[in-house]
Each structure stands twice: as structure tokens, then as C-alpha cells.
Amino acid sequence: MQVAIVGNGIAGTTTARFVGERVPDAKITIYSREPYAYYSRPRLIDFIAGEAPLEGMPQYDAAWYEKRHIETCLSCEVASIDTAGKTLTLSSGQQHSYDVLVLATGANAFVPPIAGVEKKGVGTLRTLQDAVTLCQAAQCCDRIVVLGGGLLGLDTAISFIHFGTAVTVVEAQPWLLPRQLDREGAAVLQHMVESRGVRVITDDLCLQVLGEEQVEGIRLKSGLELPACQLVISAGVRANIALAKQAGLACNRGILVNERMETSAPQVYAVGDCAEFNGNVWGIIPVALAQARVAASQIAGEVTTLYTDLVPSTTLQVGGIELTSIGEVNPVGEGFQEYRYADDAHAVYKKVVVRDGIVVGAIMFGDRSDLPAITRLVSQKIDVTAVASRLVSSDFNVGDWLKSATA
Ligand SMILES: Cc1cc2nc3c(=O)[nH]c(=O)nc-3n(C[C@H](O)[C@H](O)[C@H](O)COP(=O)(O)OP(=O)(O)OC[C@H]3O[C@@H](n4cnc5c(N)ncnc54)[C@H](O)[C@@H]3O)c2cc1C
């Protein structure tokens, strides 16, 4: 069986790995338009922070791929697919046939249409090449502005500090990590981020990038002007669906898939940041891994393995800040109870959101000792009615209670 995988991010590589381990006669080829073998995108932060050398970025050596009969075709962009003829064409014009195709084309950084955004010195962080370019820029730039105070924006801002450059984060929403935190939790986070030397501006919008050809600063809606020689835009991602659209596959925000990760064309699967299931395109690693496992199982003939949407969980772990946010943390509507615990002196903030006796969201900031137990409560929908108000107390051990409750 000839299995072609487009994209060598975590979704494509994990699919290849599981197919290679389960289907001994599969001949697997991964096509990647990037010149590098698989590397972890979260490690790009370590790379910028000077904690991971370039040569240490690829995760697996040649023997790893060989053992799983995986061939990689690097700097190979797939330009088009013919799903009827089961062939794909590279930008070089070369054609290859396949029996099964997996689209793992990921996502691209979104760049909002801000006036002047095309100037030199405006960048995004998605690929290793982006990280290399940003590091080169940071070495000769004394003021960097990061647009976007989400997880990636904050990670990126903190990773620049060691260059000795002044770093400012601008977030359009009233507080940092608006998708993962509430106002109270964000206040604790902002204090920690600022204490690491990053200036934070919230509730303000970048309207214009200043400068002639090279960025010299930005102008905000409030009228404030911030000088900058490098601007990093961290305004979310968009699923990379261009290839799928060209091939006539059904797409919305992502490539539409069912619980088998099948697209609208036979023998074509989609996984990871490019796939849309049930109206969701999560853009996070746990989802990419789960979807890759399902696609590989289907390809291996284990057709009862199906994908069910996960409760999204994201973690910020940079510069001594440890924060995990799960599920619904800013509930809108009725029927939710919110329980909080704050210890400002130790920069601890915990919150759980409960609906009908079930934990549907949680913030664990500064003290994540209960995280595994809380994660289980959310994913297994365990009734916490009897202890809901105590779940975040410093003298209550969620793990111990869970053990006795489920014994
Ligand atoms: C700096 C950074 C930090 C992150 N940290 C976290 C984190 O802590 N936790 C978390 O859950 N998520 C994190 N993410 C998000 C996470 O990396 C993504 O969810 C994950 O990479 C998605 O994997 P993927 O394989 O679906 O897509 P991608 O990693 O985007 O890989 C897709 C690949 O396909 C290639 N491709 C696309 N089109 C073609 C084509 N036509 N031909 C050939 N190749 C093609 C692309 O070049 C790319 O290499 C982070 C992202 C970044 C950038």
C-alpha cells in the first residue's frame, strides 16, 4: 500500500509513525515544503530563547524513519492532487501516485490587514525558518513589539528577553490570554509577565505600522505610538486548505472530516490543524495527535477507532510561568457555578467552572498539582456536586477525593 502524507508537522509525522508500526507492507512518503525534518513547534520558543541549538531541532534521526519504512521528501511542495486518478503533483512538476492520501497541511499564521504590514521587519512565528529570521533580527534590534497577548504571543515575547531588547506585547482584548483566562487570572499573569521585563498594553489595537520601507514603530487606536525595529504578529492561525480546495474537497474553515478523519474524497484523510470536525478547528497538539491516531488506525483497517472531540486544554510554560486552561473558563449564559482561589503572594490562581455537577472548565495557574485529577474530572464528566466548592481550596486534595469517589 502506497501512503502519501502531505505535511511533516506533528499530525503528518504521527500518522506516518502509526501506519508504519501497524502496516508492515505500507510504503509511506511524507512530502514537506519545509526544508527541515520534523521538529516540534513549541520548541521554537526554546530556540529563540537560546535554549535549543538549530542542529538539535529535528526530533528523529534517519534510522527512526527507516525503521518505520517512511521516506521523507523535504522542500517538496505538493502543488495539486487528482483524487480520481490518485496522483499528486509537486511544484517541480513530478507526479506520484498513491493508494491512500493524508492531508496534514497544518495552518499558517494569520496577518490582519493593518496599514503598512508589508514593511520589512514585520514577521510571524510558525516555522523554524521564521524563528531563525526573528533571532537574526533580534540581535540588531533594541525594541520589539509583539501584537497579540495569546499563548504564542506571550511565549514569543518572553523568549526575546535574553537578547537584552525591550519587548512590548499589545493585546486588543481587555486582558491577556482572553481565550484561556478570566480577568482575575489575567491580572496575576500580567504582573508575572511584567516582572520578567515585558511591557504589556491591553485593550488597544494596532492601526498602522510606521516607517518607510522598514518598520520604525506602530500607532495604536488610543493614539499611542510605540517605536520598534521588529514587529511580530501573533494574531492566530488559519487552516491551510488551499491544496484541499484545489482538489475539490469539501472545506469550511478547515478540511471537513468525519469521525474516521475521512474527507469528502475516497481514500483521502485530513488530520491536525488543517482539519475541521464538528465545526471545530482547534489548532493544538493534543487534537493533532488524537486525529493522527484515528487516521492511522483507519488506514490499518481498525475501523472501529473513531475520533471524538477533546476538551481543549492549553498550557503556557515559559519563564517560570506555569499555567493550564481547560475547557470553558469564561462561561456565558446561565447554570454555571464558578469557584476561585487566589494567593497573590505566591502568584497562584485557580478556578473551576461547574455545570450540572460536572466540571466544564478550569484554570490552574502557579499551582498545577491537581491538574491530572481536574483533567480527569472534566474528560470523564465525574459528578462533583458534593465537593464542588472545595475543589480549588488549598487544603483539599482533588486526587485523593477522586480515588475514593471512583474506587
Ligand atoms: C511557536 C509555537 C508554539 C506552539 N506551542 C504549542 C503548545 O505549547 N501546545 C499546543 O498544543 N500547540 C502549540 N502550538 C500549535 C501546534 O504547534 C500546532 O497545533 C501543530 O503544529 C499542528 O500540527 P500539524 O501537523 O497539524 O500542522 P503544522 O505543524 O502546521 O505542519 C504542517 C506542515 O505541512 C506543510 N505543508 C503545508 N502545505 C503543504 C504542501 N502543499 N506541500 C507540502 N507541505 C505542505 C507545512 O509547511 C508544515 O510543515 C504552537 C505553535 C507554534 C508556532
Mutate to test the pocket of ligand 1, among 59, 75, 80, 105 (most ligand atoms within 8 A of CB): 105
Helix (H, G, I), strand (E, B), or coil: what is residue 379?
helix
Segment 13-46, tens digit of pLDDT = 999 999 999 999 999 999 999 999 999 999 999 9
Exposure class string for 363-384: b at 16+ Cβ within 10 A, else e: bbbbbbebbebbbbbbeeebeb
Output the domain CATH number for residue 249. Answer: 3.50.50.60
Residue 52 lies in a domain: no
Q: Rounded to the nearest whole angstrom, what is the distance from the C-alpha of residue 36 to the centroid of ligand 1?
A: 13
135 and 202 assigned to the same domain: yes
129 and 204 assigned to the same domain: yes
146 and 220 assigned to the same domain: yes
Q: What residues make up the domain containing 370? A: 328-406
Mutate to test the pocket of ligand 1, among 14, 40, 41 (most ligand atoms within 8 A of CB): 41
Residue 141 lies in a domain: yes
Exposure class string for 131-158: b at 16+ Cβ within 10 A, else e: beebbebbeebebbbbbbbbbbbbbbbb
How far is the C-alpha of 24 from the C-alpha of 9, rounded, in Å? 22
CB-based pocket (< 6 A), ligand 1:
6-12, 31-34, 41-42, 44-45, 77-78, 104-107, 125-126, 152, 240, 243, 272-273, 283-285, 288, 315
Contact between residue 340 and residue 184 where contact means Cβ atoms under 8 Å apart: yes
Residue 318 lies in a domain: no
- Say how far residue 406 (Cα) sits from the centre of its chain: 33
Residue 398 lies in a domain: yes
Model confidence pTM above 0.85: yes
242 and 104 assigned to the same domain: yes
Q: Which atom of ligand 1 is nearest to the CA of 131?
A: 1
Q: What residues does 258 pair with on adjacent strands?
A: none
How far is the C-alpha of 25 from the C-alpha of 270, rounded, in Å? 22
Residue 150's closest CA among 181, 106, 184?
181
Residue 168 lies in a domain: yes
Segment 364-389, tens digit of pLDDT = 999 889 999 999 999 999 999 999 99
How far is the C-alpha of 147 from the C-alpha of 260, rounded, in Å? 37
Segment 46-61, tens digit of pLDDT = 999 999 999 999 999 9
Q: Rounded to the nearest whole angstrom, what is the distance from the C-alpha of residue 285 to the centroid of ligand 1?
A: 8
Helix (H, G, I), strand (E, B), or coil: what is residue 270?
strand
Residue 323 lies in a domain: no
Residue 340 lies in a domain: yes
DSSP string, 1-36: -EEEEE--SHHHHHHHHHHHHH-TT-EEEEE-SSSS
> What domain count does the chain have?
3
Q: Rounded to the nearest whole angstrom, what is the distance from the C-alpha of residue 74 to the centroid of ligand 1?
A: 15
How far is the C-alpha of 32 from the C-alpha of 38, rounded, in Å? 9
Indicate the residue among 254, 281, 299 that finishes a domain: 299
Residue 310 lies in a domain: no
152 and 181 assigned to the same domain: yes
Segment 288-336, tens digit of pLDDT = 999 999 999 999 999 999 999 888 888 887 778 889 999 999 998 899 9
How far is the C-alpha of 320 from the C-alpha of 49, rounded, in Å? 13
336 and 359 assigned to the same domain: yes
187 and 273 assigned to the same domain: no
For the record, the C-alpha cell of 177 comes out as 490570554
155 and 217 assigned to the same domain: yes
Helix (H, G, I), strand (E, B), or coil: what is residue 396?
coil
Output the domain CATH number for residue 358. Answer: 3.30.390.30
